Amino acid sequence: MRDTGPPWTDPDEKATLLGFLNYLREAIAAKAEGVPEPQVRTPGVPSGTNVLGLIKHLTHVEGFYFLDRPITNLRRTLKPTKTETLDQLLADYRETIQESNKVIDTYTDLSRPAPHPGGRGVAPTMRWTLTHMIEETARHAGHADILREQIDGATGR
C-alpha cells in the first residue's frame, strides 16, 4: 500500500491540523500492529522505550489534552503492565482517538481553551493542543519506526 500522507486540500485550519494528526495516529497504530510478544514490550533502547509503551503513552496524552483525564505519573504511561496486550491497548488508543475527535469537532474557534485537567495553570488553546499532539504523535511514531525495524526489519508506514 502506498503511503499518501494527509490530505493536501483541506478547506480550513482545523481540518488541516486534524488531517495531519489522524495520519500520524494511524501511522503509529499501523507500526504497532502485528508485533508479536514479547518483542512488542521489549525495550529497543536503554531508556526502556518499547512499541506497546508508546501506544499506551499516546492514549494517556490524548486523554489528558482532549478528554480532561489527569495523568498522575507520566513515566508510568510509557510502561505497559504484564497483563496489558497489544490488542487491548490499540483498542483503547482507537477509542480515545474517537472520543478526542468528537471533542475537536465541537470547536469552531481554535483560539478557545481546550479541555484541560485542573492544577496545571491556564488551559492552552485548541490550536496549541492540536499542534502539540501532532508533535507528540510524530515524535513517538518515529520512535516506533526505529523499534519496529529493530524487531523485524519492517520499514515505512
- List the CATH number of the domain containing 57: 1.20.120.450
Residues 133-147 pLDDT 10s: 999 999 999 999 999
Cα–Cα distances in Å, from 143 out to 24, 138, 139? 12, 9, 6
| 5 domain-assigned | no
Cβ contacts of residue 137 below 8 Å, gap of 6+?
Answer: 21, 24, 25, 28, 58
At 122 the pLDDT is 85
Residues 85-101 pLDDT 10s: 999 999 999 999 999 99
Look at the chain and report how many structural domains it folds into.
Answer: 1
| 6 domain-assigned | no
| Proportion of the chain in helix, strand, coil states, percent, rounded to 5 | 60, 0, 40
At 1 the pLDDT is 45
At 102 the pLDDT is 98
Neighbours of 32 (CB within 10 A): 21
At 5 the pLDDT is 72
The band of 157, judged by pLDDT with boundaries at 50, 70 and 90, is low
